[in-house]
Amino acid sequence: MAETSPPTSCGSSPVVASPMGTPLRKVLNRISGLASSCRSKKGPRGRCRGIFHRDVEQEEFQYASAHCLSSYYSVFVARLAIMAMLAILIALLTVLTWHFTKMYTTKSLKTLAFGLRYELLQRPILRMWGILNSTSEITTAQVKLSEYVIRRYSKPTTQAEQVELYQMMKDMTWALFASRKALNAITISYKNGFVQAFHRDHKNNNTFYIYSDLANYSISGNESPGNKMMSMRQGWDDQFIQGNVSAIWYREPLDPISGEKTGKALPIPPDDVINIAGPSQVPDGVASWHVAVSKYTDSPLLSAALPVWDSSNRSIVAVVGVTTALFSVGQLMKELVEVHSGYIYLTSQEGYLLATSTNAPLLKNTTNGTKLMMAVDSEDRVIRMGAQWLQKAYGNKFPPGDVVHVEKANLGGQHYYIDSFFLNLKRLPMVSILVIGCVCILILTNGVSKEMKLRAELISHLNARRRAEASSNYKSQFLANMSHELRTPMAAVIGLLDILICDDHLTNEQYAMVTQIRKCSTALLRLLNNILDLSKVESGKLVFEEAEFNLGRELEGLVDMFSVQCINHNVETVLDLSDDIPKLVRGDSARVVQVFANLISNSIKFTTSGHIILRGWCENPIVCSDSGKFSPDQKKPLSALKTKLKHHGNHMKKASKRDKKIVLWFEVDDTGSGIDPSKWESVFESFEQADPSTTRTHGGTGLGLCIVRTLVNKMGGEIKVVKKNGPGTLIRLFLLLTTPADGTEHHGLMDFAKHSVAVILALHGSMGRLIMSKWLSRNGVPALEASEWNELTQILHELFHPRTRNCCFDDHYSRGEPLRSMIHSLQDMRNPVYIVLVDLGLLDLSTDIWKEQLNFLDKFSGRVKFAWMLNHDTSNAVKIELRRKGHVLMVNRPLYKAKMLHILEAVIKERHAEIHKRSPNGNKGGSHECLEIDSTHFETCSSDDSEISEKGGALHAGEQPREGTVKSNTANCHTPKNCLVELTRLGSEVNILRADEDECNAWPKLHDTEDAKCENSNSPEQHHVSSCTKDGDNSYTSKAASGEKSLEGLRILLAEDTPVLQRVATIMLEKMGATVIAVGDGLQAVDALNCELVGKEYRRDRMQTDICDFPPYDLILMDCQMPKMDGYEATKAIRKSEAGMGWHIPIVALTAHAMSSDEAKCLEVGMDAYLTKPIDYKFMVSTILSLTKRSA
């Protein structure tokens, strides 16, 4: 029965079988079975197996595996289905995209072309319409006037009256006829058979008056008005015909303008010249239209006929006919075709040609006179064929809508577009007149008409553009890929050159050459790096990382780096960051630094003397208005610009508030050669330099600023050159960076005011001094400035020997008065601490005078604290001497806020310590300070580094291992103990690296700074010569190994069959102080463990020291694949055996499978951790430590 067999389908839990539950479960089984079968199209095997199991009642275990299998299948199939669906979706998307890009343009172009053609056809039709309209208007007017005139002479009784009537009619008709030049003829035929007509011959510009002989006609009609309509007409018609036959017609030429008679009237055969609209044309008493021909014109004529009723509106007294030539329609068509190629023709509904764009005749002469020509018989080949084609295609039945539009109609071997429009001339604005004149217009456009050409051109343009974009993209990608490949050999070349330069055997010439090669290679490498950056940005590969970084510190490091170059150039580098800049920002630190590195290096290139200032402030109106930190000469233009920028900034701010973003403004201000205003925009283009001739003197590729702008723009900022007073360039940019939530608050500055500190800045660089003193005063620290030695001595004298104030020697200084007042205010301070920051450059180092100067300063050492600003190349002798004299506060150029803060804090702390302990032991305080301002060592290091890199040498050896260690350090930081080990190692390493320096090393501090350095080490020379790398690594780990035996006292069982690995692992572990027992396979491992367990004495030994049982080994390293018994089995056995012991020996798997499934297997059998072969030394140690620590 079903309830005894375990449920086989997946998903249904084995519910306790109850009588009620059974059918339910069956249903469940059925459903889930169905579901799985549905899900697994591909899994009949699994299903079969499931059924099989159900039937045979397999064991639980097997059931589980089957269950597993089927669920695997279903999951697999589900994944497959999802993937297939995804693929279909993607394909669909692609097709849609293609469709929309390609089909849509084509379609819109087609619509455009169609619209154009339609427009073209509309014009002749409109003209036609216009002609019809004017004809009908004229006819109506003529009829109305005739009615009026005839009514006036309604009952002509005498011949004279009759003649007067006709004369009246003639004048009136002439007036109408003359006003419409397009009219061919106006005719009036009276009831009595008399005819009056005006005719204009457009060909030879003659105008005629045609009339019939009056004599034959009775004066008055004999019909009474009471007669019936029908009879009346009958009689009238007869009479008319009679009159027609017998009458003599005269024609007299007229002056076309005045209507004066110009020639003699000549008799002509009736009806010969023109069509006189007779009563036959108004059969129902309504208007009629027809197309007529005349032998005097070669174009068809459109004539309208309208009856004139008598006053009682019952009888027709005359018929008015108006004839218009369709000549002008053809003219228009010709004009159209001249502009746009093709053929246009107009036919009547019956197929008669009315107008064409060609010169083919529209009329044909037959024996019965001139007749209209059918379109299918046209002499023009194309029109004929087009008409034939249309007839063949549609016969006489035109499609609904009456619009035919055919592409690629084959006419005589050529392709044409055919468009046909059908114009129904039904409703002419005539009173109660319904005109049914249907005109069909056909257009045949040549296959390559102008708009087609345009269209093709447009498409090809689009294609070309797409291709160009693609190729540009390829180029960028190619460069992005290739630059990397190019850099590697370049790095090798440079590395080899370095080795070569180190060779002692080179002659001077060779040395010079090699140096030159190296310079060139570096330049080439720099170019490659730039191109790589640029192409990365262009190909969209550049992704900014979002990480928190200390902006201030990054920039300080940068300025430190560049100040070395600046010192060489006799240029002062100043970093001036306002206090409101958040300490931590989020963004891509490397890219931010790159921006400033490029800008500063650019400035350095073009600045030979003066200063380079990197200013930074936060987007904040308050700060904007507070331009106190800027020097007075720059104040005005800056504030003016700021208002402009503020406008923009406000906008940004709105957006930024939402994203917790801040706008940081920066300026790079130099006193270099400057950029011509016309080039302010173009310097940011690639390969563009302000002055091409500078390439020779300054080098460079012109890519630097381009990269900067691209990066800035990518960071949501802008950069531009702004106007500056005085020489040099001022580049201003802003960046949009995110701040961490708490990052916006300003880091707590120490309240220096209450510590009553005063600073005397005896510094060379005027800009840096000015900025620093302003900053100090803003923070409540009075600052005095001195730019040279004598000034310093004067200030010191003023301060401490007030009685010598009046001595003549302070008269030499113009600043005497303000200085003195400052000094006075300082002397008012209660128990002040003076800090004198002395630039080493103030001392006369060229001779031995500096020692005397030092001695002089020593006199004040009790009352003031001296801090020294060193150059990066300050000789050791000077440093030692300073240290010997007890001057321990030293910073390296350039001075910026952080360094000043360090000095201040150090002094204040020392003072506090002194006050607290009352210990006069200066030494102790000294060492304390030394620690406090230890970051100054970092500065020393960094500038040394840059120096090294300048000289082009051992940077690679220095840089790489440091990076490596820091990385490994952060990776291993999860165990504090380990971290400490790493730190000490690091320290020792750095110690050796910096062995030539006499600085005291405090490792933890150094670690911090090193860390920071590594973050910002984006120096372009990051290539590593492999040998150097290895060597560096080497020195590091061997030192690390000797550093500390972190595994001291651990007993480790190593089960490993490969002798090599066994040996290596053993040595590794032993080096760390562990005791290693190595065995060859899993069986031996289990045996070794059991052996130890039974070894009573050992156990007793351990029991003596500890109360609880201790495992015989602290840890087992277990290879997974071993002969006899593999690691998994062995682990299982060990776990089983230790079940009763109350301990848990950590087992670490060693495996060559680097897959997570293996890891899962390892952990499943009871292993604690997992190491992949080849064994990574550090990782192994950290793993072991973390495990043993936990178990201990």
Residues that bind another protein (CB under 8 A): 499, 1025-1027, 1030-1031, 1033-1035, 1037-1038, 1041-1042, 1057-1061, 1063-1065, 1067-1068, 1071, 1119, 1121, 1123, 1152, 1173-1175, 1177
Q: Strands, DSSP E only, in 545-700?
A: 547-550, 571-577, 584-587, 610-618, 661-670
For residue 548, the minimal CB distance to another protein (Å) is 31
Between helices 955-971 and 1003-1016, what is the axis angle to 10°? 110
Nearest to 788 by CA among 771, 814, 766: 766
Q: Beta strand 1075-1079 with 1115-1119: parallel, antiparallel or unpaired?
A: unpaired
CB of 992 to another protein, least distance (A): 12
User: What type of residue sits at position 808?
Assistant: C
Residue 779 or 1066: the one with the smaller Cβ distance to another protein is 1066
How many residues make up the chain in this entry?
1192
Cis omega (within 30 of 0) on the bond before 976? no
Whole-angstrom distance, CA of residue 51 vs CA of residue 67: 11
For residues 1027 and 534, what is the distance between their CA atoms, to the nearest angstrom?
30
Residues ≥6 apart with Cβ < 8 Å to 1131: 1118, 1147, 1149, 1162, 1165, 1166, 1167
**Which residue lies nearer to another protein by CB, 686 or 1035?**
1035
What count of other Cβ atoms lies within 10 Å of the Cβ of residue 474?
11
CB closer to another protein out of 1080 and 1111: 1080
Rounded Cα distance between 21 and 989, Å, is: 74
Q: How far is the CB of 1117 from another protein (least distance, A)?
A: 13
We find the least distance from the C-beta atom of residue 1040 to another protein, in angstroms, to be 8
Q: Which residues contact residue 1046 at a Cβ distance below 8 angstroms, ignoring those fewer than 6 apart? A: 977, 978, 981, 1072, 1073, 1181, 1185
Q: Which distant-in-sequence residues (6+ apart) come within 8 Å of 869 by Cβ?
A: 763, 837, 838, 839, 840, 890, 891, 892, 893, 895
In whole angstroms, the minimum distance from the beta carbon of 1062 to another protein comes to 9
**Shortest Cβ distance from residue 1036 to another protein (Å)?**
8
Residue 990: half-sphere exposure toward Cβ, Cα within 13 Å:
30
Cβ proximity to another protein: between 695 and 1034 the closer is: 1034
**Least distance (Å) from another protein to the CB of residue 492?**
9
Instruction: Please tell me whether the peptide bond between 637 and the residue prior to it is cis, using omega within 30 degrees of 0.
Output: no
The secondary structure of residue 721, as a DSSP letter, is E
The answer to whether the CB of 317 falls within 8 A of the CB of 285 is no
To another protein, the closest distance from the beta carbon of 1126 in angstroms equals 10
| Distance of alpha carbon 298 from alpha carbon 716, whole angstroms | 75
Question: CB-wise, 414 or 1034, nearer to another protein?
Answer: 1034
Q: How far is the CB of 964 from another protein (least distance, A)?
A: 10
CB of residue 1057 to another protein, shortest distance in Å = 7
Distance CA 629, CA 631 (A): 6
Q: Quick one: 1104 or 1157, whose CB is closer to another protein?
A: 1157
Q: Which is nearer to another protein, 35 or 1041 (CB)?
A: 1041
The minimum distance between CB 1075 and another protein, in angstroms, equals 14
Distances, alpha carbon 1002 to alpha carbons 550, 936, 983, 1177, in Å? 22, 12, 11, 26
Please state the closest distance from residue 857 (CB atom) to another protein, in A.
46
Residues 6+ apart with CB under 8 A from 280: 237
Q: Kindly state the smallest distance separating residue 1159's Cβ from another protein, in Å.
A: 17
CA dihedral 132, 137, 139, 143 (to 10 degrees): 160
Nearer to another protein, 688 or 1044 (CB): 1044
- For 819, the 3-state DSSP assignment is helix
Angle, alpha carbons 878-870-669 (nearest 5°): 155
Picking from 441, 436, 435, the residue whose alpha carbon sits closest to that of residue 423 is 441
State which amino acid sits at residue 391: Q
The DSSP code sequence of 56-114 is HT--HHHHHHHHHHHHHHHHHHHHHHHHHHHHHHHHHHHHHHHIIIIIHHHHHHHHHHH
Residue that the structure tokens 């904007």 belong to: 624
Take residue 1042 and report the two structure tokens written for it.
């000797």
Please, are residues 279 and 306 in contact by the beta-carbon 8 Å criterion? no
Q: Which is nearer to another protein, 317 or 494 (CB)?
A: 494
Q: Confirm if 311 and 420 have CB atoms less than 8 A apart.
A: no
Neighbours of 1055 (CB within 10 A): 31
Q: Rounded to the nearest 5°, which phi and psi values hold at 447?
A: -55, -40
Nearest to 1015, CA basis, from 494, 659, 594, 684 = 594
CB 1070 to another protein: min, Å: 8
CB of 62 vs another protein, minimal distance in Å: 24
> By C-beta, is 936 or 1151 nearer to another protein?
1151
Q: If you ran DSSP here, which 8-state letter would residue 398 be given?
A: P
Cβ proximity to another protein, 647 vs 967, nearer residue? 967
Q: How far is the CB of 1033 from another protein (least distance, A)?
A: 6
Report the nearest approach of another protein to the CB of residue 741 (Å).
41
Q: Would you say 149 or 1162 has its CB closer to another protein?
A: 1162
> Which CB, 432 or 1156, lies closer to another protein?
1156
Which CB sits closer to another protein, 178 or 1061?
Answer: 1061
Q: Please say which residue, 138 or 1181, places its beta carbon nearer to another protein.
A: 1181
Cβ nearer to another protein, comparing 454 with 496: 496
Nearer to another protein, 179 or 1027 (CB): 1027
> Which is nearer to another protein, 359 or 488 (by Cβ)?
488
**Smallest gap from residue 861 Cβ to another protein (A):** 46
